[in-house]
């Protein structure tokens, strides 16, 4: 039923766009100069819509149309990398808001002095995974450190993981309850007295793979457990995909280290301003716009190379 509903929405959307094109062509055929200003505006709008639809049509890989899980982990760089993780979280949340996606933080571990050690966010909306999968990898920041008394230039790294959300009843991933170790504990994050007094946070350990998932966002232990299961299923699906592609290092959990030389994108704030994607060579000097969530050009440049 969900798949049928999605297909129906897609067909209705294209039929509506087709009618819009026919209406514009009909008005143009009247050869009425008084209609020219409105038609020029409509043509520009139609071209922009066509470009958007043309690009969306390339998002046809498995799970591209699904919701996504975004996980960010601080890498090499100490407090600076934890602050960089917080900056990346803000950047992705701003991007999601601008694109009309809804977001919910499921788990977050703060840094000792500042920033975030790791965070997991659910991003919900059509093609959320399709767009965000372009962001998977190590992100590098170069700047004058606000945590260095000498104000020297520092390089920080953070690892971004992108996973598709899959339904709990999906046959693609089967989890034997006997393979799970479940721990319940008190949330360590701010969340009101109820969160602090009651043990609602969940830690799931998948014994065969050693994957550990935590969730401490909801006051409900049941909701936290359900969200943790969603994350676990997504991680197991990633391992299954890696096995098919014979990516042995990923299959064993040896993920790319968040350090020098492995970055997919660099954000340089000093001595000059530039954000550059090392996979596509796309770059921009407007670093503030990118950090404020203007990621679409980077995403499209990458996805076009993969189409």
pLDDT in tens, 248-302: 454 444 455 544 457 899 999 988 999 999 999 999 999 999 999 999 999 989 9
Residue spans of alpha helices (H) in 104-163: 128-132
Residues 51 and 194 in one domain: no
Q: How far apart are CA 198 and CA 295, in angstroms?
A: 40
Question: Is there a domain that residue 63 lies in?
Answer: no
Q: Where are the beta strands (DSSP E) in 146-200?
A: 153-164, 180-185
Residues 99 and 130 in one domain: yes
pLDDT at 192: 41
Answer whether residue 222 shows pLDDT above 50. yes
Residue where a domain stops, chosen among 56, 79, 99: 56
Q: Report how far apart the first and last C-alpha atoms of the chain are (Å, whole number).
A: 28
Residues 186 and 162 in one domain: no
Answer whether residue 28 shows pLDDT above 80. yes
Q: How many domains does the chain have?
A: 3
CA distances from 24 to 41, 48, 201, 212 (A): 11, 15, 56, 56
**Could you report the per-residue pLDDT of 64-86, keeping only the tens digit for each?**
888 999 999 998 778 999 999 99
Residues 76 and 150 in one domain: yes
Question: Is there a domain that residue 300 lies in?
Answer: yes
Predicted confidence band at 186 (pLDDT cuts at 50, 70, 90)?
A: confident
pLDDT at 240: 82
CA distances from 135 to 17, 64, 109, 182, 264 (A): 30, 13, 21, 31, 8
CATH label of the domain that carries residue 188: 3.30.160.20
Answer whether residue 33 shows pLDDT above 60. yes
Residues 163 and 80 in one domain: yes
Residues 155 and 270 in one domain: yes
Cβ partners under 8 Å of residue 161, min gap 6: 69, 70, 71, 72, 73, 136, 255
Residues 74 and 40 in one domain: no
Residues 215 and 85 in one domain: no
Residues 74 and 158 in one domain: yes
Cβ(159)–Cβ(284) under 8 Å?
no
Q: What is the mean pLDDT of residues 178-200?
A: 69
**Which of 67-97 are b and which e, b meaning 16 or more Cβ less than 10 Å from the residue's Cβ?**
bbbbbbbbbbbbbbbbbbbbbbbebbbebbe
Q: What is the pTM of this model?
A: 0.79
Q: How far apart are CA 289 and CA 90, in angstroms?
A: 12
Q: Which structural domain range is residue 20 located in?
A: 2-56
Residue where a domain stops, chosen among 249, 272, 296: 249
Helix-strand-coil percent breakdown of the chain, rounded to 5? 45, 25, 35
pLDDT at 158: 94
Question: Is there a domain that residue 244 lies in?
Answer: yes
Which residue in 73, 162, 69 sits closest to 116, CA to CA?
Answer: 73
Question: Is there a domain that residue 26 lies in?
Answer: yes
Residues 164 and 262 in one domain: yes
289 beta partners:
none
Which residue in 89, 121, 86 sits closest to 215, CA to CA?
Answer: 121
Residues 262 and 143 in one domain: yes
CATH label of the domain that carries residue 99: 3.30.70.1660
pLDDT at 234: 92
Cis peptide, bond prior to residue 271, ω within 30 of zero = yes
Cβ partners under 8 Å of residue 210, min gap 6: 253
What is the dihedral sign for C-alpha 175, 215, 299, 65?
Answer: positive
Q: What is the mean pLDDT of residues 197-206?
A: 84
What is the dihedral sign for C-alpha 274, 276, 281, 285?
Answer: negative
Max intra-chain CA distance, the chain: 74
Answer whether residue 193 shows pLDDT above 60. no
Residue where a domain stops, chosen among 56, 85, 100: 56
Residues 118 and 38 in one domain: no
């Amino acid at each position: 039923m969900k798949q049928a509903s999605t297909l129906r929405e897609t067909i209705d959307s294209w039929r509506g766009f087709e009618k819009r094109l026919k209406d514009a062509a009909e008005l143009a055929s009247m050869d009425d100069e008084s209609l020219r200003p409105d038609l020029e505006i409509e043509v520009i709008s139609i071209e922009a819509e066509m470009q958007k639809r043309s690009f969306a049509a390339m998002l046809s890989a498995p799970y591209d149309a699904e919701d996504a899980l975004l996980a960010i982990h601080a890498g090499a760089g100490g407090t600076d990398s934890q602050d960089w993780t917080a900056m990346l979280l803000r950047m992705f949340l701003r991007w999601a808001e601008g694109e009309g996606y809804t977001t919910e933080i499921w788990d977050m571990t703060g840094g000792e002095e500042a920033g975030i050690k790791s965070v997991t966010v659910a991003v919900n909306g059509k093609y959320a995974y399709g767009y965000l999968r372009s962001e998977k990898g190590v992100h590098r920041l170069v700047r004058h450190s606000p945590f260095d008394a000498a104000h020297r230039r520092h390089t920080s790294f953070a690892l971004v993981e992108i996973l598709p959300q899959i339904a709990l009843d999906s046959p693609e991933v089967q989890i034997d309850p006997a393979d799970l170790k479940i721990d319940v504990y008190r949330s360590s994050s701010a969340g009101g007295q109820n969160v602090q007094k009651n043990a609602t946070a969940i830690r799931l350990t998948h014994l065969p793979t050693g994957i550990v998932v935590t969730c401490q966002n909801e006051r409900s232990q049941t909701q936290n457990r359900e969200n943790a299961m969603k994350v676990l299923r997504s991680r197991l699906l990633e391992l299954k995909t890696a096995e098919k592609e014979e990516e042995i290092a990923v299959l064993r959990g040896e993920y790319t280290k968040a350090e020098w030389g492995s970055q997919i994108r660099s954000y340089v704030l000093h001595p000059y301003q530039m954000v550059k994607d090392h996979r596509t060579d796309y770059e921009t000097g407007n670093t503030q716009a990118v950090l404020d969530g203007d990621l679409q050009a980077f995403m499209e440049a990458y996805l076009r190379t993969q189409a």
